[in-house]
Amino acid sequence: MLDKIKEFASEFFVTGDPLILGAQVSIGLSLVAIIFVLTFFKKWRWLWTEWLTSVDHKKIGIMYIIASILMLFRGGVDALLMRVQLAAPEVEFLQPEHYNQIFTTHGVIMILFMAMPLMFGLFNIVVPLQIGARDVAFPFLNSLSFWMFFFGAMLFNVSFIIGGSPDAGWLAYPPLSELSGSPGLGQDFYIWGIQISGIGSLATGINFVVTILKMRAPGMKLMQMPMFVWSVLSSCITIMFAFPILTVTLFLLFIDRYLGAHFFTLDGGGNPMMYINLIWMWGHPEVYIVILPAFGIFSEIVSAFSKKKLFGYKSMVFALMSISFFSFFTWAHHFFTMGSGANVNAFFALTTMLIAIPTGVKIFNWLFTMYRGRITFTTPMMWTIAFIPCFVVGGMTGVLLSVAPADFQFHNSYFLIAHFHQVLIGGVVFGYFAGLYYWWPKMFGFRLHEGLGKWAFWFWNIGFYVCFMPQYALGLMGMTRRFNAYDFDMGWQPLNVVSTVGAFLMGIAFIFQVWQIAHSIRFFKKEKDGDAWDGRTLEWSIPSPAPLYNFARLPQVTSQDEWWEEKQRIANGQPAKPLAPLEPIHMPKNSGIPFIMSLCWFTAGFGFVWDWLWMAIPGLIGVAICMLARSFSYDTDYYIPVDEIERTEAALRGTK
Amino acid sequence: MMRPFLRVLTPVFIMLMAVLLSGCGEQFIVLDPKGPIGESQKDLIYFSTILCAVIIVPVLILTAVIVWRYRDKPGSKASYKPNWEHSTKLEITWWSIPIVAILILAIVTVKYTYALEPSKPIESAKAPITIQVTSLDWKWLFKYPEEDIATINYIKIPEDVPIKFQLTSDTAMNSFWVPQLGGQIYSMSGMAMTLFLQADEQGSYYGSGANFTGKDFAKMTFKVDATSEEDYKAWVDEVKATSPALTMEGFEKLTEPSTSDVQLFSSFPEGLFQKVVMQYVNGGGGAHQHHGSSEAEATGTTDTEAAPADTTESHDHNASNTDSNTHAGH
């Protein structure tokens, strides 16, 4: 009996690596600590009623952001491990198998479980406030989206200590990702983790498209929406068309692995090249999905801190929407070297270059928003200003890569690695950091310490250039990606060492950010009013943090930058808009179903990974029961009475 | 605040430009080609870099100037127009700048895409030598069908003679890359790709498998030695005289996952390359059976996908051109 358990445990847990053993122990200890703290302070009920069952978009947004920062930590540690290995390959710090797992999980986590949730977090917090709505269109679905993402991410992450991590690259090309190439469980964790969170992403995309189209405050025309809302709309439309492709592709891969089908195996008539096409038909739009909202954030910040209207609003909208459209016609530039012939390569080279045009226009519009403005250098603005040169250079190397015949020399080399990190860090990460710093007072009602934020900023920026500029050079020196070791004769080592130093500088920057948050909580200073930055859009017209119902009275919108115009009117001595009488506010009720249903998905996914039908089938039944339970529950909403609104408003605004 | 910022960024950009534009260091092998294909690709890299730089360098300078001039400081004399948000003239200007640049780049790119199509033979008075390339787990098998010799992880070629590489894979997709001769191309199982390269100078060039294929893929590097034609002939004769033959059993052994040092063979089984390419076609005479799940029923489905696909055909020239024009018009 004991032997059997031992044998099971040695298969169940990942064993034999001191690094992982350390992680297992620390994860176990932190779990115990969390449970102890929650029990000791009697916080279980609070956790359940205030957070786990909440359908409030602001709380869901905060949970997304917390999860994504944890994932940033894990993805970042992966990156540092890789950099250590590459700085001194002769030491064999990591075994090849281990290295392959680490670059696979680094890619998946950073794109799908860091960038995506950070983006969704900002969508959730900002969009309803900017369009003057009280919640998203489908609050229950919103909660479900979050928990699907969360449990999907956990399922993927658990493979680190249980069962074994995937190691076929972040896009899992077959045949490496098929049973023949990856007989282990890692690839199944990959499929199920991404599938479950992918359903959540698709639902969020639909939710925000509907929210933006249907829930805008009275009077707000589409062409008066804040630019961030436009960017969310373009991103979510892209999600709606791109994510179903991912779901289908991974489902086919699952059937190949689980039922022995041959969609992507050559024996039996399948074709692995079909997978590569399909996954990039999702994968390329995916990078635009994450960058478009960053463009929106920069537009908001550049205008707010230049004290000037956004330049070229119509051009910006047109640029956003055309990028979203063209992103679906460029996928094959990820494999010019597949030999599809000159016609195909020429077509995809041209479509790729086309995207550079609207992107370039946006840069000019940001520059001319600052032109004749009054620029103040707060942390959000510093990230925005740092973004421009970084993204311009990253965009330029992207154009170089799009020149198909030249790409034959860049492909799969560190030149490519440097390029996409420059646009993803310089664009997406800088953008989301800028947004996080900008809207932080709105989320929590206090500011982050500016001094520490500037330290973090400089470490991030200097670290970034020290890390990735040498990688362009390494690419031109012939170093290809995913090498875990190389010949000393190639002369790659000095630049790799430099690059590793840069990576650690970014690691230090992250520590500064954690310190900054901790410091700001420790020396908590409540915001006096909701308008932390003398802002322009509606979210700054209400208290920070926003009350449950956001707007006591729905704002009447007459112009772009409504809140700014209102402040101007008052400053010019014009009368403020007359206040309409308060009315009871219709709100959605909290629900535990999203959490439970996602937990059931997790159970089903875990069961399929291990091929334990006794676990998978009850999981799926649980999902079905949750759906039925929701379908037959009619008590899903309530009204906040007027006197309660009056009390809340008086307390928040410190009047009466 | 901006001063340290610019002070850090300026040298970084200068460094980057220097790296991209000069590339004179011997280690920058992509920018130090020794063959006509690599040479053209290098020209294209320089051309596109300079074209992009012509635009982005002024943009970077403009950014620095604007940020500096319009910073908020007491008594700033710079103009402040908080409601200035539109100028048709300016916006037309900066829609045109990238459009013109991309148009120029697009024309050049399309021209080179056809000129450098990998399966297009290199013009030369000399007849090309064929080398059949097969990527295995985790080694490269090179076969010289005309000389009837084979090597593992080593290529020797004569200078100034076009080499016709035919590529396939017996396992996951890899990518055959010899930077100093020219760009890479995927080696894919079930297909035969064609890549023409040529060395204009004698020398020893680095080659690698550029696409991830699992555990020891980093060990799939190899050397390409370009020598005089006499030396090449002498080497072939020496291999034929002194090396063992590659048998079918020997090949089966090579397909097992492992790394390998350089090996030389005086002969190889006839039609081996075709067998590897056609192994998934029913009745195509599988070279060996080790793929996929063992219960894979080799019955039923007729497979046309796996037939060797040559990539030279360009029958739908016009169709594709119209397509791209339509899109450019948007």
- Say what the ipTM of the complex is: 0.92
**CB–CB of B48 and A400 under 8 A?**
yes
Top-confidence residue, A319 or B5? A319
- Asked if residue B327 has pLDDT above 50, the reply is no
pLDDT band at B294 (very low <50, low <70, confident <90, very high): very low
Per CB-CB distance under 8 Å, the chain B contacts of A375 are 67, 70-72
Beta-sheet strands, E only, within A288-442 = none
- The predicted pLDDT at position B323 comes to 37
Rounded distance, CA B203 to CA A56, Å?
Answer: 68
Report the residue of chain B nearest A467, measured CA to CA.
B12
- Measure A209 CA to nearest chain B CA, in Å: 24
- Asked if residue B285 has pLDDT above 50, the reply is no
- The predicted pLDDT at position B241 comes to 95
The domains found in chain A, sorted by start residue, are 43-548+592-653 (1.20.210.10)
- Asked if residue B321 has pLDDT above 60, the reply is no
Per CB-CB distance under 8 Å, the chain B contacts of A376 are 71-72
**Most A-contacting residue of B102, B119, B196, B197 (CB-CB within 10 A), to test interface:** B102
Q: Which candidate, A283, A315, A357, places its Cα nearest to that of B327? A: A357
**CB–CB of A353 and B72 under 8 A?**
no
Could you tell me the fold of the domain covering B129-278? Answer: Immunoglobulin-like (2.60.40)
User: What ranges do the domains of chain B cover?
Assistant: 2-71+88-115, 129-278
- The predicted pLDDT at position A482 comes to 94
- A321–chain B Cβ distance below 8 A for any pair: no
- Measure B106 CA to nearest chain A CA, in Å: 6
**CB–CB of B53 and A400 under 8 A?**
no
Per CB-CB distance under 8 Å, the chain B contacts of A411 are 175, 183-184, 210
- The predicted pLDDT at position B75 comes to 85
- A47–chain B Cβ distance below 8 A for any pair: no
- Measure A52 CA to nearest chain B CA, in Å: 41
User: What averages of pLDDT result for each successive group of 10 residues across chain A (656 residues)?
Assistant: 83 78 82 88 92 96 96 95 93 89 96 97 97 96 97 94 91 93 93 96 97 96 97 97 97 95 89 95 96 97 96 96 96 94 95 95 96 95 97 96 96 97 97 97 94 96 96 96 90 94 97 96 88 94 94 92 92 85 94 97 96 96 97 93 93 71
- The predicted pLDDT at position B298 comes to 38
HEC readout, chain B: CHHHHHHHHHHHHHHHHHHHHCCCCCCCHHHCCCCHHHHHHHHHHHHHHHHHHHHHHHHHHHHHHHHHHCECCCCCCCCCCCCCCCCHHHHHHHHHHHHHHHHHHHHHHHHHHHHCCCCCCCCCCCCCEEEEEEEECCEEEEEECCCCEEEECEEEEECCCCEEEEEEECCCCEEEEECCCEEEEEECCCCCEEEEECCCCCEEEEEEECCCCCCCHHHCCEEEEEECHHHHHHHHHHHHHHCCCCCHHHHHHHHCCCCCCCEEECCCCCCHHHHHHHCCCCCCCCCCCCCCCCCCCCCCCCCCCCCCCCCCCCCCHHHHHHHHHHHHCC
- Measure A337 CA to nearest chain B CA, in Å: 5
pLDDT band at B317 (very low <50, low <70, confident <90, very high): very low
**Most B-contacting residue of A266, A362, A397, A482 (CB-CB within 10 A), to test interface:** A266
Per CB-CB distance under 8 Å, the chain A contacts of B35 are none
- The predicted pLDDT at position A269 comes to 84
Those of residues 98-117 in A touching chain B at CB distance below 8 A are 100
**CB–CB of A472 and B49 under 8 A?**
no
Fill in the amino acid letter for B217: F
pLDDT band at B281 (very low <50, low <70, confident <90, very high): confident
- Measure A119 CA to nearest chain B CA, in Å: 27
- Asked if residue B78 has pLDDT above 90, the reply is no
Task: Characterise B302 by phi-psi region: left (phi > 0), alpha (psi -120 to 50), beta (else).
Answer: beta
- Measure A126 CA to nearest chain B CA, in Å: 24
Report the residue of chain A nearest B291, measured CA to CA.
A180
Rounded distance, CA B93 to CA B201, Å?
Answer: 47
- The predicted pLDDT at position B102 comes to 95
Which among B70, B116, B313 is the nearest to A371, CB-wise? B70
Which among A168, A342, A361 is the nearest to B117, CB-wise? A342
- Measure A523 CA to nearest chain B CA, in Å: 25
Which among B30, B62, B82 is the nearest to A478, CB-wise? B30
Q: Cβ contacts of residue A313 below 8 Å, gap of 6+?
A: A223, A227, A560, B85, B86
- The predicted pLDDT at position B25 comes to 65
